[in-house]
């Protein structure tokens, strides 16, 4: 595996991680506002 492939894998993984974190935070804020 080349360095470029490893970097692209890490980039994709971090993007997915950021997306999931954003989704969870949004849901938590939404639930807290409904109360």
pTM over 0.75: no
- Taking alpha carbons only, the member of 4, 23, 3 closest to residue 15 is 23
pLDDT value, residue 35: 80
- Taking alpha carbons only, the member of 26, 6, 7, 29 closest to residue 18 is 26
Tell me the two tokens of residue 21: 């974190």
Show pLDDT as tens, one digit a residue, over the chain (35 residues).
799 999 999 999 999 999 999 999 999 999 999 88
């Amino acid at each position: 595996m080349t360095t470029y492939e490893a970097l692209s894998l890490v980039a994709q993984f971090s993007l997915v991680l950021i997306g999931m974190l954003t989704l969870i935070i949004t849901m938590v804020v939404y639930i807290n506002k409904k109360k």
